Structure 1
Amino acid sequence: MRTGLVADSKTLEITGVLSVTDFIMVLMMLWKYRENLDELKGTPLSHEDFRQMDIAYMPISRWKGCLEMKGQLKPFIHIGLKESIFRAVELLTKYRIHRLPVMDENTGDCAYILTHRRILHYLWKHCALLPRPECLSSRVVDLEIGTWQNLLYANEQTPLIDCLDMLIDNHISGIPVVEKTTLKVVEVYTRFDAASAAFSDNIDLSVTVTRAIQERDYQCGIRRDAVVTAHYTTTLWSLIEIFIDKNVHRIFMVDDKTILKGIISLSDVIEYLVLRPTRKTVNGNSK
């Protein structure tokens, strides 16, 4: 389970979510606090150390209160059962979230969680029944889908804490790991990989991202198809097929030498397919 719903203890009304992002932010807060103490700086955080700290027993309400004081608390974004998929995509895009609770207006219960992956699978399943737009045969680099400039990436020696900072500060779910001299894509580190730290004997955010990935593989098993690449001249239709087949959240666009050229996420594709046509209509560029 990657997201947990948070309910008011008195009314049992669902008021928010608790995700792996919260877990990462707690780890980072603890680590940076320890780094400011000379006697603890550079030393791993053991589970025993963690249990002796107040935050280990902090109520969720207090943690959310801390985020609110820092201006980092996000509103509880959800959608009703009767609302459209289009509205769901609007909310996912506007608030840059990856999971959208679908609430039953009558009971107040969460019926299910809607994700970019589920939406893309729905579009894919029904695509054969609809006329295929010309853009699906166009190259993604020409369509300018995703990110092609100012790419965020880590090299094999980047400290793990720096990777986590990039993930949280830029609201992204994964970051490519490249060879320092060639920029060839060799791995990917995601928010969910950080959760493997909970199974380690010690938590050390000063290690390199390469060491963190090795620890992840040891704790959780080596993931297959973790790094998925496609040539930057790939068509949008072919890219969607890769997303469906590999079941990943992002694809790294590379050249003939596997050098990183761009990054396209599930949200980029869905935003382009669903929201772009309406934006063009509003601007008067299409009917």
Structure 2
Amino acid sequence: MPDTGEPKPLNPSVIKSKALPSGSNIPGPVVSQIAQPSTFLRLPILNRTIHETSQKINAVDSEQLSGLLVLRDGFNVVWRIKSVRACARLTTLALQNAIREFLKIRTSYDVLPLSFRLIILDTDLLVKKSLTILLQNGIVSAPLWDSHTSTFAGLLTTSDYINVVQYYWQYPDALNQIDQFRLSSLRDIEKAIGVSPLETVSVHPTRALYEACRQMLKTRARRIPLVDLDDETGRQMVVSVITQYRLLKFIAVNVTETEMLKKSVSEIGLGTYKDLQTATMDTPVMDVIHIMVKYSISSVPILDENGRVLNVFEAVDVIAIIKGGAYDELTTIVGEALSKRANDFAGIYTCSEEDRLNSIFDTIRKSRVHRLIVIDDENCLKGIISLSDILKYVLLHGEINE
């Protein structure tokens, strides 16, 4: 479900590797055009009046405390806490509770744009043709429909194509049958290589948006279909698909409390910083695919010999490589594969451990972001912040029985 009218990312915020001519030899790491870390996240400090007090609290808690003096329309909550120090400890939880309450009174249907296009694929369709359809329409996933039972059959994603690649790599004798392989056989592929089954989770469009968010976190799905029932036939009907990005952007645009989340990335422990899987420009693409399958990840940072970030290889890059059935190109190196990206590729987004969560939400509000690469002043990799990390923090942090 492609968006229309999305603002383009700010120029200083992206890293773009120089395009390499097809078939060229790469003697060493590709020089990348990279801005200083997190320059795109630096926002002007909001001028807020903080009541003077003899009790000392840190600057971040002071800003959040002042933000709570502004009442949220629709909630009419008045915070009356005598102790400023106690209030400072509660501000973050109060802001997160406000976001959760917003999600509980909004439905999944509210997230959908006024106009959108939905492409649904029949399970009898050939895998090769389904790949062509995705590429022609500029999408990376689509709901599946079983016409024999008239039921929703799951969600086709880039992970499924990676599973197909992994299968034919393990069983090369079956490669000559790939042109006859149908989407209905994806479950057999999953069983053969021992990976998670096709995503079949869905929610009703009139259910609370909070429920869709919890389902995403529970199943680790990056997107979730909205499935309704036809009043006349009683059969299932796929309405749309909402992604983690669309959910977070909806929150960023409509919930003013996100502007008051002043804690830094390091303070709240947002992201993954240990056991990061990486590769270089000279790493074979197939090795990167093995990493993605083994660790159930959708991207791998590409580093130079000094640990500096040059680029990120994403699951969607695999689709561009195998289009037209060019499975033999999977033996090429990462640098060659990334050089074939479209000229309008937006680049990758970075931040530092000192950047604040409200700045990240501001970036999500303005640009299409799938992840943030955490780097230091030398552009060296420190960690990765996924959209799941952000959604999990907003939804579950501090919640009872999380």
Q: TM-score, normalised by structure 1?
A: 0.82
Letter in 2 for 1:183: G
- Could you tell me which residue of structure 2 aligns to residue 63 of structure 1? 186
Separation in 1, partners of 2:293, 2:214:
22
CA contact (8 A) 1:92 1:99 kept: yes
Instruction: Give per-residue Cα distances to partners, 1:239-258, cap 9 Å, x unaligned.
Output: 22223333120110111111
Q: Does 1:26 pair with 2:154?
A: no
Kindly name which structure, 1 or 2, has the bigger radius of gyration based on alpha carbons: 2
Q: Does 1:242 pair with 2:363?
A: yes
Cα displacement (A) at 1:80: 0.9
Separation in 2, partners of 1:238, 1:182:
29
Instruction: Give per-residue Cα distances to partners, 1:54-108, cap 9 Å, x unaligned.
Output: 1221222223233245553245111112222221111111211111001113451
Mark the runs of 5 or more structure 2 residues left unpaired by the alignment. Answer: 1-138
CA contact (8 A) 1:96 1:171 kept: no
Letter in 2 for 1:85: L
Letter in 2 for 1:143: I
Separation in 1, partners of 2:297, 2:248:
18
Letter in 2 for 1:145: L
Instruction: Give per-residue Cα distances to partners, 1:251-270, cap 9 Å, x unaligned.
Output: 10111111111110111111
Separation in 1, partners of 2:348, 2:258:
32
Q: 1:243 to 1:168 in 2, by over 3 A?
A: farther
- Could you tell me which residue of structure 1 aligns to residue 300 of structure 2? 175
The higher-RCO structure (CA 8 Å, 6+ apart) is 2
Q: Does 1:81 pair with 2:210?
A: no
Cα displacement (A) at 1:7: 1.9
- Where do residues 30-109 of structure 1 align in structure 2 (5 Å cutoff)? 30-34=168-172, 53-68=176-191, 71-72=194-195, 73-74=197-198, 76-106=200-230, 107-109=235-237
CA contact (8 A) 1:153 1:175 kept: yes
Q: Secondary structure at the match of 1:76?
A: coil
- Could you tell me which residue of structure 2 aligns to residue 270 of structure 1? 391
CA contact (8 A) 2:160 2:198 kept: no
Q: 1:131 to 1:78 in 2, by over 3 A?
A: closer
- Could you tell me which residue of structure 2 aligns to residue 41 of structure 1? none
Q: TM-score, normalised by structure 2?
A: 0.60
Instruction: Give per-residue Cα distances to partners, 1:128-156, cap 9 Å, x unaligned.
Output: 2x4865xx211101211110111121122
Q: Secondary structure at the match of 1:282?
A: coil
Match of residue 149, structure 2, among 8, 11, 35? 11
CA contact (8 A) 1:31 1:205 kept: no
Separation in 2, partners of 1:114, 1:17:
12
Letter in 2 for 1:223: F
Q: 1:247 to 1:158 in 2, by over 3 A?
A: same
- Where do residues 155-194 of structure 1 align in structure 2 (5 Å cutoff)? 155-179=280-304, 181-194=305-318
Matched length: 258
Letter in 1 for 2:335: T
62-71 or 165-174: which moved more? 62-71
CA contact (8 A) 1:186 1:227 kept: no
- Could you tell me which residue of structure 2 aligns to residue 117 of structure 1? 245
Separation in 2, partners of 1:157, 1:69:
30
Q: Per residue, is there more strand in 1 or in 2?
A: 1
Q: Does 1:256 pair with 2:380?
A: no
- Could you tell me which residue of structure 1 aligns to residue 69 of structure 2? none
Q: Does 1:196 pair with 2:320?
A: yes
Letter in 1 for 2:190: L
Separation in 2, partners of 1:101, 1:194:
23
Instruction: Give per-residue Cα distances to partners, 1:149-169, cap 9 Å, x unaligned.
Output: 111211222221111122222
Q: 1:132 to 1:227 in 2, by over 3 A?
A: closer
Letter in 1 for 2:345: R
CA contact (8 A) 2:285 2:337 kept: yes
CA contact (8 A) 2:164 2:189 kept: no
Aligned-pair identity in percent equals 23
